[in-house]
Chains A and B, each alone.
Chain A
Amino acid sequence: GENVEQHPSTLSVQEGDSAVIKCTYSDSASNYFPWYKQELGKRPQLIIDIRSNVGEKKDQRIAVTLNKTAKHFSLHITETQPEDSAVYFCAAIDSGTYKYIFGTGTRLKVLA
């Protein structure tokens, strides 16, 4: 079955700097990779996703890249702001069970 590993578990950056969070997956047939942001006390929110027929996707300051050969995908946040501080989760869908497999989360702190 699918397994997702996420690194780092915590990340502190200065406001205005970039942040990168990386995830690896094991199921080579997985073809959908979403990212969620969870602010303190709130629900996880889908912020961006990528499908396997695309190598990169951007939405303003957020981008996701996918390397299917290496089986890893990354979230890139540029020009970080204090409101980017949250826990970020990556996920992949197991191709056999259709089950969402989440990474363990990255706590991002943007220091003003």
Chain B
Amino acid sequence: KAGVTQTPRYLIKTRGQQVTLSCSPISGHRSVSWYQQTPGQGLQFLFEYFSETQRNKGNFPGRFSGRQFSNSRSEMNVSTLELGDSALYLCASSLGGREREQYFGPGTRLTVT
């Protein structure tokens, strides 16, 4: 099976712009979670989508939003970018059950200048 893929891998944006990141889960996986990771920091949970519905949400401002399509692919959008949004954005997919293995994509490195 192909692994989790994310596009683009690298992105440079200017403060105030918006950005959309994409995540394609492992075939058959219905859950996609998004995380933000800044240098030397842990995994900050953004949100999780399961069967096209947001199932969980982290403590990020409303500038961060997401959605999931019927094929389980997910997108994350950040509007009005700030310098502090520069980070590695990781998505992870799983079957979605209570005892589920979660696999990460390679991440999108976003730089805001």
Contacts and interface: CB of A to CB of B under 8 A. Distances in A.
Contact of B56 (A36, A49, A99): A99
Given A43-B90, A89-B43, A100 B102 contact: yes
The secondary-structure label for the interface of chain B is loop
Interface in B50-86: 50, 55-56
Contact of B55 (A34, A42, A97): A97
Interface residues of B, number: 22
A5 to B, nearest CB: 12
A51 interface: yes
A93 B48 CA distance: 13
Interface of B: 33, 42-43, 45, 48, 50, 55-56, 90, 92, 96-107
Interface of A: 31-32, 34, 36, 42-46, 49, 51, 89, 93, 95, 97-100, 102-105
